[in-house]
Structure 1
Amino acid sequence: MNDVVAYAVAVRTLCEFTAKQGDLDLRFTPSPSAQEGMIGHGVVASRRPPPYQTEVSLAGEYKGLKVRGRADGYDPSSHRLEEIKTHRGDLAAMPANHRHLHWAQLKVYGWLMCQERELPAIDLALVYFDIASQTETVLNERHDAATLQAFFEEQCERFLAWAAQEAAHRASRDEQLGVLRFPHDDFRPSQRVLAESVYRAAASGRVLAAQAPTGIGKTIGTLFPMLKACPGQRIDKVFFLTAKTSGRQLALGAAETLRRSAPALPLRVIELVARDKACEYPDRACHGDSCPLARGFYDRLPQARQMAVEAAAAGATLDKATLRGVAAQHGVCPYYLAQDLTRWSDVLVGDYNYYFDLNAMLFGLTLANQWKVGVLIDEAHNLVDRVRGMYSAQLSLEDIRVARSLAPPALRTAFDRVKRQWKTVCKNQEGAYAVYESVPAGVLNALQQASTAMTELLAEQAALIEPALLAVYFDILHFCRLAELFDGDSLCDLTQPEGAAASAARADSTLCLRNVVPAAFVKPRLAAAHSTTLFSATLRPQAYYQDMLGLPADTAWVDVPSPFTANQLSVQVARHVSTRFAHRRQSLAPIVALMSKQYAAAPGNYLAFFSSYDYLEQVANAFAASHPNIPVWSQSRRMDESARDAFLARFTPASSGIGFAVLGGAFAEGIDLPGKRLIGAFIATLGLPQINPVNEQIRERMDRTFASGYDYTYLYPGMQKVVQAAGRVIRSPSDRGVVHLIDDRFGRREIRELLPSWWALDEAEVRVKQAG
C-alpha cells in the first residue's frame, strides 16, 4: 500500500478495531464511572515518586496513518510505562479478551515511547486499581523496541485498508458538503436568519442560543449550515440531540432530505436507540454463555461493520430498522453494532443523554478520540430539566427492603446495615420532609459498603442475581456516584409519610439527591465541542438559560423574527376565570362555556390544555355532559406509543372536535398538525409547577444563588410550556387560528413580556373587555 492514507486514529480506537476478539461480555461490570476513573488514576499517580509523568502525549506514523494518544503514566528513571485500569470486584473474573485489549493498547504506547525517546527496550506495566479496596494489581512485562515496533506495525496493517476507505470517505464527504445546496427552492425568511447564525457560530467556534418560532423548519435550518461548516472547520462529527422520539425522527428526515437533494453526498447518518428498544433478547444477559448475539460478537463485527457502511454509501440511513437487518445477517447484537458505528458516522442522532449524562458515550468518545464536533440541541428549553434528572437520584427504604428480601445470604448483612442507618435518620428527623446539608454519613457509608459487596458477588454469580435486585443495585451505584459530586447546586432531602417519624421501623421514606442548577455539568460538555447551537421557540428570558446551563460569556444570542403575523392568530385572554387550585371547581362552567362558544363560531379541531390529569378529566366530563354532540377525546395517564398515535390520528383536515391534553405532556410540543388539522387551542393554566415543600426548597436555593427564586422555579418553566402549547396552532404562513389563554393572570405585564412579540395580545385584551 502507498503511504497516502493521511488518516489519524486514537490508540484506543486502533486497538479496539484490531485487537478485540471473541465474545461480547459485560459480566465484569459495572465499570467505574468517569469521575471514579479519574480519581483512581490520580491515586495511583500520587503513589509514584518523582520524576513520574502523567498523561504523556505520544504520536507516531506508519504508511500515512497517524496514531496518537495519551499514556497514563511514565517513570523515566526506570523506563516503565503504565496503563492504569480502574475496576471493581475480583480481577480474576475479567474476561480474557478484555485483558488482551489492554495489553494491545499498552504495547502500542510502548512503541511510541521507544520511538520518541530512542529507547532500546521498555518495561510495560498494566496497573489494575480496585476503587473499592484502593489496592493495585500490577502486571509487568519487558519488551525490546523491535518487538514493539513489529506489534505496532501489525496493528496498523490490519487497520490500513479501513483507514484508506475512511480517508476517502472523509475527502469525498467534505468535497460534496462544500458544494451542497439547500434542498428546497429557497430558505423561508426566518429560516435563513437561523441558518446564517448557525453557520457563523460554527465558523467562529462559539455557542449559539437561538430562539426561533415553531413552524419555520428549524431542523433543516440548523443541520444544513452545521454540515456546510464541516469542511472549512474540519469538523469530524455532528451530534443532533433531541428530547423526544419525535425530534429524532424529524432530524433523520431532514438528513434524508439533504441526501436526496445531493445523491453524490456520502453522508453516514446513524440513529442511536436505547438498549432496551434495540435488544433482541431482553431476557438474556450480555455475554456469550447467555445471548447468541454476544457469542463471537467481535469475530463477526468486522463484516457487519463493512456491510453497514456500504449500505450508508448506497443511500441508507443507519436507523433502527436498517441496523437490525444488518445485525441479523451477521448474527451480532444491533445495539452494540450501533455503538461501534458511532466512531465511523458523520451525523449522530440521539437523545440528550448520549452527550450530557454522567457516563455519556458521545462525550467520552469525543474526548478519547479528540474529535472536533458540532452539537445541535433541539428543543433546548427541555435541557434544564433533563440534565437535572440525569444528575439526580433517589432511593426508598422499600427499595432496600426488596433488595434485602431478594439478596443471597452473603448480602443480607450489608442491606441490614443500610436499613439500620436509614431508620436512625428517620427517627431523628423532625417532620415528614427535611433537607440535609449533605448525604447522611451513616446511610452513605452503608450504601457504599452494600455496593462493594454486591459488585464482588456480581463478578462471581451475575447469572444468579434477580433482575429486581440488580435494578436496586444500579440505583444504589448511581446514588453513590452522585453523592461524590454533591455540592451547593443540589439538594439532599428525605421524605416520609406524615406522622411516620415515631414509627420509622414501619414507615417508608425516600432519600433524594436533586440537582437544582445543572450548569456545572453542562459547561464541560459545551467546552468539549467546537460549536454548539441550542435552539427552541422558548429561550426567554436569556438570563435564566445563561445561569441554568452555564452558557459561556461570549455565547451568541439570536431572536429569530417570526414569519407569522398577528392577523394569523387571534389571541384572546379570559380574565374572568381563575385556574388556581382553590378555584378549580368554580372554573369548570365558564371554561366549558368559552370552549363551546368558540367551537360553535368556528367548528374544527382544537386542543385544550390543562395543568393536571385530574383537572383535565373534570373539564372533559363537564363538557361532554353539556355538549354530547361535540366529539371529544382525552390524553390518559401512561399512554403508550400506539395510543398516542391514535390520539393524533383524530386530527384530520375533515374532522372536528376537541382533544384534551396535559400542558407539558406529549401533545404540548413536538407535534405538527398544520392547516385544518388544528385551528385552535385552549390553555387553561399558566403551567406553574405545584407549590410543595420540594419546589419551595428549590425556590429558596434559587433565591440565594440568583435572587430570582420565584421566577426561576415557577414562572419561567410554566410560561415556557404555555408558549410551546400555543405554538401547535400556527405552523405555516397559510395557517389561521385562535388561542384562548384562560386565567386572569395572563393580563399581567410580567406575564405578557414572556409571550411571543408577534402576538397581538393587547388588541385581544381590548376585544375581551368589549365583549364582556
Structure 2
Amino acid sequence: MSATYRVAVRALCDFTAREGDLDHRFTPAPSAREGIEGHTLVASRRGADYIAELPLSGTFEGLAVKGRADGFDPTANRLEEVKTHRGSLERMADNQRALHWAQVKVYGALLCAERSLEGITLTLVYLDIATGKETLLSQEASADELQAFFTDQCQRFLAWAKQEADHRQRRDNALQAIRFPHAAFRPGQRELAEDVYKATSTGRCLLAQAPTGIGKTVATLFPMLSAMPRQQLDRIAFLTMKTPGRRLALDALATLRGSDEGDIQPLRVLELVARDKACEYPDRACHGESCPLAAGFYDRLPAARQAAVAQGWLDREALREVALAHRVCPYYLGQELARWADVIVGDVNHWFDSHALLHGLAQANDWRVGLLIDEAHNLVERARGMYSAELDQQRLSRLRRAAPKALSRPLNRLARQWQVVIKEAAFEDTSQQAQPSYRLLTTLPDKLVAAAQQAGASITDHLGEHPEDASLELQELLFEALAFCRLAERFGEHSLCDITRQGRGRAVLGLRNLIPADFLAPRFQAAHSSVLFSATLTPAHYYRDLLGLPENTVWREVASPFAARQLEVRIRHDISTRYHHRDASIAPIVDTLADQYQDRPGHYLAFFSSFAYLEAALARFREAHPDVPVFSQTRGMREAERDAFLKRFEPGGKGIGFAVLGGAFAEGIDLPGDRLIGAFIATLGLPPFNDFNETLKTRLTARFGQGDDYTYRIPGMIKVVQAAGRVIRSPDDQGVVVLMDDRFAQAKVRALLPSWWSLGNPNP
C-alpha cells in the first residue's frame, strides 16, 4: 500500500491471536505497579548481558510493526516475554496463553531479522506476584518458522490495515472539504468555531465560555473535524458529564455527517455506554459458560467488527443491533471499536479516570487526540470524585462473619486497626445518635492502610486459588481496599483523610481529593488539544488552577446573543437566606413568588439551598396561595419522576416548580419559549460551612491564595448562573430572574454574574 500503516505488536496479536470465549470471571490480577515491579524483579535475576525492554521493529508489505520485548539474553540466545499473575496458572484461559505465545513469536521474528539469527529460544516467564516464583515455558524456533508466523499474522491483519489506511485517507479528504451544516452561523457561533480551530491547529488548550442557545456542540465539533486532517488527529473524543450531553453531540454529528444518500461523510462515530446500561443479560455472569453473548465472542468478533465499521454510525441502538446480529456482547464490542472509531462520544471518565479506556488506548497506540469537554464547569467536582475513595467498616464487619477461614487473620487485623483509628479520633458515643459524627485526620492512618493492603493481597491470593469463593461482598471489599490503597500511595496536599461515624461498627474512612489538578495535568498533556466549554467558566484562573491546565491555555468569552432587555434581573437585597435568617426569610420569599406570578402567570422554577428550606417555603406558599399550581422536586427522585416533573412545563401552562439549586433541574434541562418564563433563586449556592470545607479553604489558600473564593463563592455562583440560564434559551425568549439575598448586591458576587445581564434595579 502507498502509505505505511503502524501497529504495535500487542495490538497486532490482540487482533489476530484471540479466539474462543469472552471470560470476565473474577481472576485476581496484579496492579500496573506490581506488573512493573515484577518485570524489574525478573530482569534483576538475569545475567549482566541481559537486555530489558528491547525495542524491536519490522515491516511487511508496508505494514510497520513495532514494540518492546521484555528481555533478551544474548548469551543464552533466549527471548523472554514476562507475564505477572496471581494464583494457579492452570486457570489461565487458553486464549490468553495463545496471545502470549503469539507476542513472543512476533518479537522473535523481529529479533532474528534484526540480528540475522538462525534460530532462538522463546520463553514465556510467568511470575507469581505473591510468591516471586517463576514458571518458564520454552520452545525452540528457527528464524524461518518465526518469519512464517510473522508473515501469517501480518497477512491476517494487512487487509484490515489497508482498509483502515484507505478509510483514513477518505476521511481526511472529506474533512478537508467539510462545510458548516447550516445556512448561517448563529450569533457567537462563528467566533467560537474560530477559537476552537485555532486551538486545535496550535495544539493548545482552550477554555471557552459561551452562552446557552448559540449551538456550542456543533460550533466545537465542526472546527475540530475541519482541523483533524491538517493536524493528523487520530481520534476526537467528545466527553460529557451526563447522558443528555451525549445525545446532543450525536445529533450534531449526525448533521455534520450528512443525511442525503451518497452525501454521508466517511466518519465513524461511536457512543460509549456504561456496562450496566449496555448489558443484555444483567442476571448472567460475564463468561461463556453463563452468557450466550460471551460464548465464542472472539470467534465472532471479526465479522461483527467488520460489519460495525462498514456501518460507521454506532450510537447505542445501532451498536446493539450489530452486536446482536452477530451474537456478541454490545458493551465489549463497543470497547473493541473504540480502537477504530474516528469520533468517540462518552463520559469524561473515559479520559480522566485513573483507569480510563481512551487515555490507555491513546498511550498504547501513540494517538494524537483532540478533546472536546462539554459542561466543563462540572469537571472539578467530577474529578474530585474520580480520585477519592472510601473504606466502609460496616462492610468489613459483615464480611468477617461469612468470609473463608483462610482470610480471618488479615480481616481481623484490619478490624483491629479500625478500632485504633476510631479511638484516636476521640468520637463521642454515637450509638444512640441520629446525626453522624465527623473528624478530619491530621495524618494518613498508615497502620490501617497497611492492614488494608495486606487484606487486599490476602483476598487476591485466596481468590486466585479458590475462585469459587468470589462472593460479591468479598469482591466489593477487595476493590474498595485496592482503590483506597492506590490513592494512599499518592496521598499529599491535594487530598485529605476523614472519618464519619454513625453508631458502633458504622464508620467510613475517606480519602477526599481537594485539588484534582495534580491528577488531571498529565491527562491534558497527553492530548494534542483540549477544548473545555460551558456557559459558566468564570473566572478562568479557577479552572486553570484546579484542573491543572497547561500554562499556555487560552480563555475566551463568546459574546452573548441575548440582549439585556430579554431578561429582567432583580435583586431582593432586603432578604437574607443565611441559615440563621431562614425562618424570617420564608414570608418575603413567598410574597415575591406570588407577586411575580400574579403579575405574569406562567411557568417558573424556584430554587432553594436544601430540601428542608424548599419544603418550608412550599408549605407556606400552599397555605397562602392555594390557587397557584405548585409541584416539587423530592429527595431521591427516580428517572421517571424527574421526567414527570419536567413534563409539567408544557407550552401555555402555568405553575411554579420548587427545586434544589445544584440538583437535577438546575442545569442541563431545556425549556424554551413559554415553557419557562422565570426563575427565583433563594440562595447563593454556597457550600456548607463545616470542617471539610474549611480545610479545603486552608489548602486552596496555601496553594493558590484564593481559598474563600475557590471554596465558597465561585462554586456557589456557578450553580446560580446555571440555574438562571434555564430561563433564556433562544433569541426570542423573554423572562425574569429574581435573586433573593442581600449578598447578590456585593461587588465580588456581581462580578461573577453574566456580563450581559442588566442589574440596575436592586429591588422588585
Question: 1:359 aligned to 2:372?
Answer: no
Question: Structure 2 matches for 1:445-524, cutoff 5 A?
Answer: 445-497=450-502, 506-524=504-522
The secondary structure found in structure 2 opposite 1:681 is strand
Deviation at 1:35, TM superposition (A): 4.3
Deviation at 1:730, TM superposition (A): 1.1
Instruction: Report what 2:403 is aligned to.
Output: 407
Instruction: Report what 2:284 is aligned to.
Output: 284
Give, in whole Å, the separation in 2 of the partners of 1:257 and 1:66. 36
- Supply the AA of the counterpart residue of 2:573: R
Give, in whole Å, the separation in 2 of the partners of 1:106 and 1:513. 41
Instruction: Report what 1:67 is aligned to.
Output: 65
Instruction: Report what 2:448 is aligned to.
Output: 443
- 1:618 is matched with which residue: 616, 619, 629? 616
Deviation at 1:508, TM superposition (A): 2.1
1:321–1:463 distance in 2 versus 1, CA, 3 Å: farther
Q: Is the Cα contact below 8 Å between 1:252 and 1:349 reproduced in 2? A: yes
Question: Structure 2 matches for 1:157-176, cutoff 5 A?
Answer: 157-176=155-174
1:41–1:628 distance in 2 versus 1, CA, 3 Å: farther
- Supply the AA of the counterpart residue of 2:287: H
Give, in whole Å, the separation in 1 of the partners of 2:728 and 2:633. 22
Give, in whole Å, the separation in 2 of the partners of 1:747 and 1:519. 32
Paired residue total: 753
The secondary structure found in structure 2 opposite 1:367 is helix
Q: Is the Cα contact below 8 Å between 1:701 and 1:709 reproduced in 2? A: yes
Q: Structure 1 length normalisation: TM-score?
A: 0.94
Q: Is the Cα contact below 8 Å between 1:393 and 1:479 reproduced in 2? A: yes
Q: Is the Cα contact below 8 Å between 1:7 and 1:64 reproduced in 2? A: yes
Moved more, 616-625 or 585-594: 616-625
Deviation at 1:113, TM superposition (A): 2.5
Q: Is the Cα contact below 8 Å between 1:519 and 1:548 reproduced in 2? A: yes
The secondary structure found in structure 1 opposite 2:188 is helix
Instruction: Report what 1:266 is aligned to.
Output: 266
Deviation at 1:232, TM superposition (A): 0.6
Deviation at 1:430, TM superposition (A): 2.8
- Supply the AA of the counterpart residue of 1:376: L
Deviation at 1:463, TM superposition (A): 4.7
1:573–1:21 distance in 2 versus 1, CA, 3 Å: same
Instruction: Report what 2:631 is aligned to.
Output: 633
Q: Is the Cα contact below 8 Å between 1:570 and 1:764 reproduced in 2? A: no
Give, in whole Å, the separation in 2 of the partners of 1:573 and 1:45. 70
Deviation at 1:107, TM superposition (A): 1.7
Instruction: Report what 2:433 is aligned to.
Output: none
Give, in whole Å, the separation in 1 of the partners of 2:267 and 2:102. 32
1:326–1:477 distance in 2 versus 1, CA, 3 Å: same
The secondary structure found in structure 1 opposite 2:108 is helix
Instruction: Report what 2:572 is aligned to.
Output: 574
Instruction: Report what 1:306 is aligned to.
Output: 306
Instruction: Report what 1:336 is aligned to.
Output: 332
Q: Is the Cα contact below 8 Å between 1:595 and 1:682 reproduced in 2? A: yes
Give, in whole Å, the separation in 2 of the partners of 1:74 and 1:687. 61
Deviation at 1:464, TM superposition (A): 4.5
The secondary structure found in structure 1 opposite 2:68 is strand
1:586-614 CA-partner distances (Å, limit 9, x unpaired): 11111111011111111111111111122
Give, in whole Å, the separation in 1 of the partners of 2:87 and 2:696. 38
Moved more, 77-86 or 12-21: 77-86
Question: 1:85 aligned to 2:83?
Answer: yes
The secondary structure found in structure 1 opposite 2:338 is helix
Give, in whole Å, the separation in 1 of the partners of 2:646 and 2:73. 65
1:396–1:96 distance in 2 versus 1, CA, 3 Å: same
Instruction: Report what 1:237 is aligned to.
Output: 235
- Supply the AA of the counterpart residue of 2:190: R
1:74–1:760 distance in 2 versus 1, CA, 3 Å: farther
Instruction: Report what 2:119 is aligned to.
Output: 121
Where do 5+ consecutive residues of structure 2 fail to align? 428-436
Structure 1 stretches of 4+ moved >6 Å? none
Deviation at 1:543, TM superposition (A): 1.6
- 1:659 is matched with which residue: 640, 657, 660? 657
Question: Structure 2 matches for 1:30-109, cutoff 5 A?
Answer: 30-48=28-46, 50=48, 52-76=50-74, 78-109=76-107
Instruction: Report what 1:742 is aligned to.
Output: 740
Give, in whole Å, the separation in 1 of the partners of 2:50 and 2:599. 81
Deviation at 1:89, TM superposition (A): 3.3
Question: Structure 2 matches for 1:645-724, cutoff 5 A?
Answer: 645-724=643-722
- 1:428 is matched with which residue: 424, 427, 441? 424
1:164-217 CA-partner distances (Å, limit 9, x unpaired): 222221111111111110111121231111111111111111111111112211
- Supply the AA of the counterpart residue of 1:424: V
Moved more, 277-286 or 233-242: 277-286
Give, in whole Å, the separation in 2 of the partners of 1:201 and 1:185. 25
- Supply the AA of the counterpart residue of 1:404: R
Deviation at 1:134, TM superposition (A): 4.8
Give, in whole Å, the separation in 1 of the partners of 2:731 and 2:361. 42
Give, in whole Å, the separation in 1 of the partners of 2:191 and 2:554. 13
Instruction: Report what 1:503 is aligned to.
Output: none
Question: 1:380 aligned to 2:376?
Answer: yes
1:423–1:242 distance in 2 versus 1, CA, 3 Å: same
Give, in whole Å, the separation in 1 of the partners of 2:165 and 2:140. 35
Give, in whole Å, the separation in 1 of the partners of 2:18 and 2:10. 11
Q: Is the Cα contact below 8 Å between 1:11 and 1:69 reproduced in 2? A: yes
Moved more, 641-650 or 256-265: 256-265
Give, in whole Å, the separation in 1 of the partners of 2:210 and 2:28. 42
1:683–1:410 distance in 2 versus 1, CA, 3 Å: same
Question: Structure 2 matches for 1:560-599, cutoff 5 A?
Answer: 560-599=558-597
Q: Is the Cα contact below 8 Å between 1:89 and 1:452 reproduced in 2? A: no
The secondary structure found in structure 2 opposite 1:562 is coil
The secondary structure found in structure 2 opposite 1:233 is coil
Q: Percent identity?
A: 58
Deviation at 1:692, TM superposition (A): 1.7
Deviation at 1:136, TM superposition (A): 4.1
Deviation at 1:119, TM superposition (A): 2.9
Q: Is the Cα contact below 8 Å between 2:175 and 2:226 reproduced in 1? A: yes
1:6-57 CA-partner distances (Å, limit 9, x unpaired): 3222222211111011111123534344444444444444555555544443
Q: Is the Cα contact below 8 Å between 1:198 and 1:208 reproduced in 2? A: yes
Deviation at 1:461, TM superposition (A): 4.1
Moved more, 29-38 or 374-383: 29-38
Deviation at 1:483, TM superposition (A): 1.5
- Supply the AA of the counterpart residue of 1:401: S
- 1:545 is matched with which residue: 543, 546, 555? 543
1:710–1:39 distance in 2 versus 1, CA, 3 Å: farther
The secondary structure found in structure 2 opposite 1:180 is coil
Instruction: Report what 1:189 is aligned to.
Output: 187
Q: Is the Cα contact below 8 Å between 1:406 and 1:466 reproduced in 2? A: no
The secondary structure found in structure 1 opposite 2:206 is strand
Q: Is the Cα contact below 8 Å between 1:33 and 1:359 reproduced in 2? A: no
Give, in whole Å, the separation in 1 of the partners of 2:268 and 2:350. 18
Give, in whole Å, the separation in 2 of the partners of 1:627 and 1:440. 55
1:657–1:144 distance in 2 versus 1, CA, 3 Å: same
- Supply the AA of the counterpart residue of 1:445: A
Q: Is the Cα contact below 8 Å between 1:214 and 1:727 reproduced in 2? A: yes
Give, in whole Å, the separation in 1 of the partners of 2:220 and 2:44. 46
- Supply the AA of the counterpart residue of 1:449: Q
Deviation at 1:427, TM superposition (A): 1.6
Q: Is the Cα contact below 8 Å between 2:26 and 2:470 reproduced in 1? A: no
Instruction: Report what 2:431 is aligned to.
Output: none
Give, in whole Å, the separation in 1 of the partners of 2:45 and 2:681. 62
Give, in whole Å, the separation in 1 of the partners of 2:317 and 2:28. 29
